[in-house]
Chains A and B, each alone.
Chain A
Amino acid sequence: MNLFQQNLEILRRHNRALAAQVLKISGGTLSIQLAKTGVPTAVVKNRAIHSAYDPIREAERWAEHQTKDCQSGETLVVLGVGLLYHVEALRTKLPQDSVVVVIVSDLSELVDALSVRSLDGWGDRVCWVWGHSEQMARQVTQQASRLRLLTYEPALMIHQQEYDAFRLQLRDQLAKGVSGRLHIMVVGPIYGGSLPIAGYVVRALESLGHRVSWVDHSLHAPGYQHLQTIQDDRLRTTVQQRFSDTLGVISLAHVAEDPPDFVLAMSQAPLSMAVLEQMRRKKVLTAMWFVENFRHFAYWQQMIEGYDFWFVMQQAACLEAFKNSGASQVSYLPLAADLSIHQSVDLSIQEQQELGADVSFLGAGYRNRREMLPVLLGHEWIFKLWGNEWDRAGVLETVLQRNGARIDTATSVKIFNATSVNINLHSYTGIGFDPEGDSVNPRTFELASCGAFQVIDHRTLLAELFDESMMGIVKTPEEFVPAVRTYLHEPEQRQVMAERSRKRVGMSHTYAHRMQTLLSTVGLASPDRIGAILQGERQAESLLARSRDCPELLPLLRSFPKTDRVELVDVARTIRQKGPEATLSREELLVLMMDEYRQEKRDFL
Chain B
Amino acid sequence: MSRTLLLQLARLGDLLQSLPVITSLQTHFPEQQLDLLCAAPLTPICKLFPGIQRIYPWEGERWHGFARMEEGGNERLVEEAGQYVSDFAFPPYTLAYNLNNHPRSILASHLLSARVVGAGDRGPLNPRLPPWVEFLQHVARERGANRIHLADAFCGLCGVSPPRVIPIIQAHDIELPPDLEQIVNDSSFVKIGIVLGAGDADRRVPLTTLCRLIEGCTDLLPNCLCVLIGGAGEREAALALEDKLSSQYLSRILNCVGRTTLPQLAHLFNRCQWVIGSDTGPLHLAVACGARVIGWYFSRARVHETGPYGVGHYVWQYRGSAHSESTDCSREKGGPHLPCSWPVLETLQIIHNQHTGENPSGWELWNSHHDEWGMFYTNGENSEIAVKLREEVWKRLSVKGPNHQEFSTMNAMTAG
Question: What is A's interface to B at a CB cutoff of 8 Å?
Answer: 71, 261, 282-283, 528-529, 532, 537-538, 542-543, 546-547, 549-550, 553, 557, 566-568, 571, 575-576, 578-584, 586-587, 589-598, 600
Contact = CB atoms under 8 A, between A and B. Distances in A.
A576 B123 CA distance: 12
B356 interface: no
A571 B103 contact: no
21 contacts: A71-B71, A71-B72, A282-B68, A538-B73, A550-B75, A553-B78, A567-B74, A568-B67, A568-B74, A580-B122, A581-B123, A581-B126, A582-B125, A586-B111, A590-B81, A590-B82, A591-B74, A591-B78, A597-B64, A597-B66, A600-B64
B72 A553 contact: no
A543 B77 contact: no
B128 to A, nearest CB: 7
A549 B75 contact: yes
A62 B237 CA distance: 49
Contact of A571 (B64, B71, B74): B74
Interface string B20-44: 0000000000000000000000000
Nearest to A577: B125
Contacts of B64: 597, 600
Interface residues of B, number: 31
Interface of B: 60, 63-64, 66-68, 70-75, 77-79, 81-82, 85, 103-104, 107-108, 110-111, 122-128
Nearest to A554: B75
A577 to B, nearest CB: 9
A597 B60 contact: yes
A550 B73 contact: no
B403 to A, nearest CB: 13
A566 B72 contact: no
Given A593-B63, A596-B107, A568 B79 contact: no
A283 B82 CA distance: 22
A231 B291 CA distance: 64
The 5 closest A-B pairs by CB, nearest first: A598-B67, A597-B67, A580-B126, A528-B71, A547-B75
Contacts of A582: 123-125
Nearest to B65: A597
The winner among B71, B126, B128 for most chain A CB atoms within 10 A is B71
A550 to B, nearest CB: 5
Given A553-B78, A557-B74, A593-B108, 16 more contacts: A543-B74, A550-B78, A553-B74, A578-B125, A582-B125, A586-B82, A586-B111, A589-B111, A590-B81, A591-B78, A594-B63, A594-B78, A596-B63, A596-B104, A597-B63, A597-B104
Given A589-B111, A597-B66, A543 B73 contact: yes
Given A593-B104, A593-B107, A568 B77 contact: yes
Contact of A566 (B74, B78, B104, B127): B74
A597 B125 CA distance: 17
A546 B82 contact: no
Given A579-B125, A589-B124, A593-B81, A584 B110 contact: yes
A584 B123 CA distance: 8
Contacts of A546: 73, 75
A586 B111 CA distance: 6
Contact of A594 (B66, B110, B126): B66
Given A549-B79, A550-B79, A592 B124 contact: yes
A529 B75 contact: no
Nearest to A545: B75
Nearest to A539: B73
Contacts of A261: 70
Contact of B72 (A528, A571, A590, A592): A528
A15 to B, nearest CB: 32
Contacts of B77: 568, 591, 594
A595 B82 contact: no
A532 B72 contact: yes
Contacts of B63: 593-594, 596-597
A410 B124 CA distance: 56
A73 to B, nearest CB: 9
Contact of A542 (B68, B73, B107, B111): B73
A598 B60 CA distance: 11
A580 B127 contact: yes
A589 B67 contact: no
A582 B70 CA distance: 29
Contacts of B85: 590
Contacts of A591: 74, 77-78
A583 B123 contact: yes
A584 B108 contact: no
A547 B73 CA distance: 10
